[in-house]
Structure 1
Amino acid sequence: MSKADNMLAILWLLKANKRMTAKQLADSLEMHIRTVYRYIDALCASGVPIVADSGHNGGYSLLEHFKESPLFFDLEEQKALIHAALFAQEAGYPYGDVLKQAVTKLKRYTNEAQRSEIERHMVGFEVVNPSAPPSNIEGFLQQLEQSVASCTTQHMVYQKGYGLDEQERSIDPYGLVHWRGKWYIIAHCHLRQATRSFRVDRIMALNGTDNVFERPEAFSARSFLLRNLKRQPEGEDQLIPIVIKGNLQALNALCEMWLFSEALVDRSVDTARFMIENHLLQTYVPYHLLSFGTRIQVLEPMQLQERLVEIAGKLLQHHSR
């Protein structure tokens, strides 16, 4: 174990026991007694209130007020953190390996009863993200996250749209946002001289620079992305707002379909609003909607209404022969 792990183990033992000698600590942790002395000194230097009593019944102990303070997470907190880690990993969290190490360390400092209880809660809890980000963007996500923290300009090669030419540009990253199964970097684009959103999976190459920028005060990347949904991310196919009205059961079923679940923006009892790429309005979208018959009604856009009428007319003509 690392030095930090061993020091935490000593704290754990002292918290669980009223008093322990250096030899008892050394035997429990399978280390030399001199190593225990060094770790005790390091803990004291860092401010941990360890009391050393000499004599026949001597040993090391923690001050009572420190002993009563929670040293680690309780069972419910551990369970919640491990469950949250599953969600983060499925979303393509850029520090997945570090997250796994943290979860492993979390489990290491639990007793057998707690460990068994956690495992029972893990068996029936799984997360499946149907549109998980590609694994090859992890390095880009890490670099962008670090550049947001350090306020350093990045130079990237970005692919606009579907199979369009790649374009070089410099950006000042303001924040990363995970939305509808995709990662977006909100940044000031030097080429456009404006704040833009870029899909991270469209970045072909990314290189740091020594240039430092000043991040706008109180800027929210999340608010910017949601506020500008009608203006598609740079290089993206145009997003069209679709408003559909229907009964509760039909709308629930529609919002659960793979195509619409990722595009849902707003939902009420009888109305749902989606933002869907323009080219899908002529292909997949109308055919999915036709399967709901008269249980739903397209309120907008008109081009989708017209496309539904066109397809329905062709079906009527075909089956009337």
Structure 2
Amino acid sequence: MSLYWRIFLLNGAVLVVAAVLLLGPVTVSTPVLLGEALVLGVGLAAMLVANALLLRVGLAPLQRLSRAMNSADLLRPGGRPAVTGSGEMSALISTFNTMLDRLESERATTSARVLSAQEAERQRIAQELHDEVGQTLTAVVLQLGRSADLAPDPLKDDLRQVQETTRAGLDEIRRIARRLRPGVLEELGLHSALRALAGEFTTPGLTVVEQWGPALPAFDDETELVLYRVAQEAVTNAARHSGADRVEIHLGAAPGGGAELLVRDNGKGIGDAPEGAGMRGMRERALLIGATLTVGAAPGGGAGIRLDVPAPAADGPR
């Protein structure tokens, strides 16, 4: 029976009983006698209690559904309200769960396409930086060197300075190209790529170290790229925002055949800061491979980002 009919029939039954009693043994005089007031008061209280109980029981699934709607986050999939109640209430919860399944599936598909296009665009830009801008600046550096050799002494030092500035700009362009397209990941594998990442971010004020656990299973290229990009974004955030002087990258096999990536620092931590585009990007990448991203405080202070990657499919990689 639907919630509407249950409430309607209960109220109808109470009103019918009240009418029968008023037409029969119960009368109301003027002024109202104490006994009559007690009967009316008890009847009114019984009606209110019955209505309150019915509404409490009948609307409880709706309240749970409301809380689930408020807490739903497509970047943290999996949570579903339990299908309880009867009639249109259970149908409403089932419809909401079906809608969430469809939205999460569509978001995963869309995110996969967007990130794939993003990686292709990064690769194209990195190639153009290397082939076009890099070669042009290399030619400029060589030309400046020859010009400095032939220039008179008053101009020689200036040309050498311009040559060094241009060479520094060339190195910066090469570094940007490596970040856009991790060629070492494709050529030498994930461990070498993370080692190069740690060396790139290590400066006089920041030390980035990598630590390896048990050997990883054979993941496909997409999973390795997600592991690298998450580590890259986590280290970048730590270097820019945490104020840390030490960042650790841990990577190793996890129980069950998967992998665990942990990036933690000794900085000021995340606190109540809202998640930015970088964190949302990491969550979207994790969803692509069915991984779980956890962000929290690191032991001893600072922030910790952990990526738990499931075991590869039996017929999957390499």
The two structures have a TM-score, normalised by structure 2, of 0.22
In proportion to residue count, which structure has more helix? 2
Give the number of the structure whose alpha-carbon radius of gyration is greater: 2
Q: Which has the higher contact order (CA 8 A, sep 6+)?
A: 2
In proportion to residue count, which structure has more strand? 1
